[in-house]
A and B are shown apart, each in its own frame.
Chain A
């Protein structure tokens, strides 16, 4: 159990390089390594589930001198989300990527992105966070441009320019923090800051971090790359990008730094809530007039990330629990929606809503799963979106933030509005003449869609169990900084 943690980074990296070597002889090895790798990682992440928190010293060097991997409640939660969505995306892409060429390179880039995300979720060292963030980001820049058409290259170019500028800001923040505290270990920095030494230079570094991680996590003044990049990527990569990448690289890293390193104060909470509120409103307003299905889903992502950041910015235990639960739910239903749009594109060959309609006559499984996805994201009970949005709204009211609660309710109704319009036009209605001969998608793609649908329904029923086990340990890991310091430095 103790040696399990470096395998989260070692297995995907091994799959990348070994897969690329053997792919010169046998092309199908990429499928095999990706499937086995993500299956084993998902199993390992569930093994960590009930385990008390522990750290792993890389190379035997004790902290604060060495780099250490920390497995506490929040890291375990993020690892489960990342690896499960990755496994389902690989199941989907076994058939879907037949549409593209160079499949071994696709699997290599995918596993590299997965290694980077696992590294960000596990690490306890500030510069190591930056290195893994860059690994995941560079892999995702290449994956967005995977089919080299006009629009995909343009979207990837916008993404790489904004992402590169954000990485420069994050590195500048790390440099300033190193010059103030003299160490790179997050727990050591937390100890120095908790004894009351947050001066103006540290707040300057925090501003850079907000800008940098805000670009990576697509919060609203920094969201401009997302509506171009997420539609242009292949569908399983859109599911990974929207479902986990922006949450791990943006939201998780920012909240880990704000809550555990700097210590949460009401001012920081107000900043997070303002960013969250702005994201919710702008995402919903811009999503209304969209013609392209995946672009609509991308704007909806911006809006839902606003809910997560609003919940986390409240700082109260119920708010953080609501934010984390909405993170889990959004990972499931947004990946479901993107993969359904990929299935629709695989069958019909187009993404424009104005050219499609009445798909329920020909594509039964895809229609059922898409309907569940649309109902979940709109917040209809008994699906999981309803419960997490309700918890965030109740937490806002409890913390006397009535304006934000009202905005959240309003945006929820708006989301319901445009998704119901999409669902009615896309799935029900008349089938156009050009689409009379389409068939259902292959079995493996259906399998991923059905598993995610069951998760969407099951998570709302599992909530009472989860609220006492996973979510509580994740919330306590964020709220209780002294426990984090004692875990890393005291043990």
Chain B
């Protein structure tokens, strides 16, 4: 997958940071406003996919490759399972065992923000890994059907 034109690269360089920031906001405030782990993770993953589309596959894979994506994916899921098992200390699986604090503040509602962060990490790594897997594989398909198309064509 080649990169895109100079205008797209410049704009993506500026905008992608804001998209990641917005995604992290949605993950962290999941217990107060709509959103949470899954939508926030999708937004951050979309930012990474945008970088891969704009700059091309090789540059994006050098920064955040598929092995680190699947490793981060497993750590996120393991974190979620550990939070659920730690609830056994309060008596039940998945019990909300941290002090719940006052409502409407960022640090409140017990294990909910921690679960959101774990799910957010898992979803962003997972969607990015799926896209990388399809992108790496799809190249063989394109070579089959285009025959000898030269590399300079942009689409």
Contact = CB atoms under 8 A, between A and B. Distances in A.
B67 A3 contact: no
Given A20-B70, A21-B75, A24-B67, A59 B95 contact: yes
Interface in B80-101: 81, 84-85, 87-88, 90-96
B93 A18 contact: no
A60 B90 contact: yes
Contact of A17 (B78, B91, B93, B96): B78
B77 A58 contact: no
Interface string A2-16: 010010001001101
Interface residues of B, number: 19
B140 to A, nearest CB: 13
A57 interface: yes
Residues of A in contact with B, size category: 10 to 19
A59 B75 contact: no
A391 to B, nearest CB: 39
A10 B78 contact: no
Which secondary structure characterizes the binding site on chain A?
helix
B71 interface: yes
A14 B81 contact: yes
User: Which of B70, B90, B91, B94 has the most chain A CB atoms closer than 10 A to its own CB?
Assistant: B94
Contacts of A6: 88, 93-94
Given A3-B88, A13-B81, A59 B74 contact: no
A13 B78 CA distance: 9
A60 B91 contact: yes
Given A58-B93, A60-B90, A10 B85 contact: yes
A59 B81 contact: no
Nearest to B92: A60
Contacts of B75: 21
A57 B92 contact: yes
A3 B94 CA distance: 12
Contacts of A56: 92-93
Nearest to A61: B92
Contacts of A16: 77
Contacts of B93: 3, 6, 10, 56, 58-59
Interface string B91-116: 11111100000000000000000000
Contacts of B90: 60
B136 to A, nearest CB: 15
B94 A58 contact: yes
B70, B78, B92 — which one has the most chain A CB atoms within 10 A of its CB? Answer: B92
Contacts of A58: 92-94
A17 B92 contact: no
Contacts of A10: 81, 84-85, 93
A85 to B, nearest CB: 25
Interface string A47-60: 00000000011111
A327 to B, nearest CB: 29
A56 B71 CA distance: 33
Contacts of A57: 92
A394 B91 CA distance: 48
A17 B74 contact: yes
A25 to B, nearest CB: 11
Interface centre among A16, A18, A60 (most CB of B within 10 A): A60
Contacts of A21: 71, 74-75, 78
A104 to B, nearest CB: 11
Contact of A18 (B67, B78, B88): B78
Contacts of A24: 67, 71
A16 B75 CA distance: 11
Nearest to B91: A60
Nearest to B70: A20
A445 to B, nearest CB: 30
B87 A59 contact: yes
Nearest to A24: B71
Contact of B96 (A14, A20, A59): A59
A21 B69 CA distance: 11
Contacts of B84: 10
A20 B74 contact: yes
A18 B87 CA distance: 19
Interface in B30-75: 67, 70-71, 74-75
B133 to A, nearest CB: 12
Nearest to A14: B81
Nearest to B93: A6
B32 to A, nearest CB: 20
B18 to A, nearest CB: 32
Interface of B: 67, 70-71, 74-75, 77-78, 81, 84-85, 87-88, 90-96
Interface of A: 3, 6, 10, 13-14, 16-18, 20-21, 24, 56-60
14 contacts: A6-B94, A13-B77, A16-B77, A17-B74, A17-B81, A18-B74, A20-B70, A21-B75, A21-B78, A24-B71, A58-B93, A58-B94, A59-B96, A60-B91
Given A3-B88, A14-B85, A58-B92, 19 more contacts: A3-B93, A6-B88, A13-B77, A14-B78, A14-B81, A17-B78, A21-B71, A24-B67, A56-B92, A56-B93, A57-B92, A58-B93, A58-B94, A59-B92, A59-B94, A59-B95, A59-B96, A60-B90, A60-B96
